[in-house]
A = this chain, B = another copy of it.
């Protein structure tokens, strides 16, 4: 595999997913760090060269003129893990893994990660009226996501199949810090047990 560079902010769970995937697989990543609170991913250079969407993480493959850039955290995890034990060999299970990864980006991250960012990094007192108006709906939707996960894990060790997969990795990232967004993890005991299994995986690295 070509040299890999992760453009990231260490506070971001979306970035942590990729570091965790690489760590579980023993793949070395060079880190290039940005501070999203200071707008460092909105500079003309970043938008032109790294990601026109102005967002991190971006996984850079190769360097110099031939470098290629892959935005979207879950796509970067896929790039690293395809063909490894973190992607199931069965066709249905592979699609089912992607199902949980799309669930993560649609139902989980916009609620749980956003409330974490708003409450723990921006601070409740500094929210805009628009943001403040959205908190109750995000609270309910985030709780629904955790409840759905808890029910699913009631009869399962991992989200898909019989081994940890990218579905577990990407859902772990913002679930294990959900309390920073005001969610009570102890209400979801199957989720808590699964968080413990994740942290015990060989090669596991914690979020910083």
Taking beta carbons and an 8 Å cutoff, which residues of A are in contact with B?
Answer: 52-53, 61, 68, 70-76, 78-79, 82, 91-92, 94-96, 98-99, 101-103, 105-107, 109-110, 130, 133-134, 137, 148, 151-152
Please state if A92 and B105 are interface contacts (CB–CB under 8 Å): no
A-B pairs, 7 with minimum CB distance: A79-B95, A75-B99, A72-B102, A75-B98, A72-B99, A105-B106, A75-B95
CB distance from A115 to the nearest CB of B (A): 16
Given known A-B contacts A95-B75, A130-B137, A53 and B107 have beta carbons under 8 A apart: yes
Q: Which residues of B contact A105 (CB under 8 A)?
A: 102, 105-106
Of B78, B95, B134, B137, which one neighbours A70 at CB under 8 angstroms? B95
CB distance from A188 to the nearest CB of B (A): 15
16 residue pairs bridging A and B, Cβ less than 8 Å apart: A53-B107, A53-B148, A68-B92, A71-B103, A72-B103, A75-B98, A78-B95, A78-B98, A79-B91, A79-B92, A82-B95, A102-B102, A105-B105, A106-B106, A133-B133, A134-B134
Please state if B91 and A70 are interface contacts (CB–CB under 8 Å): no
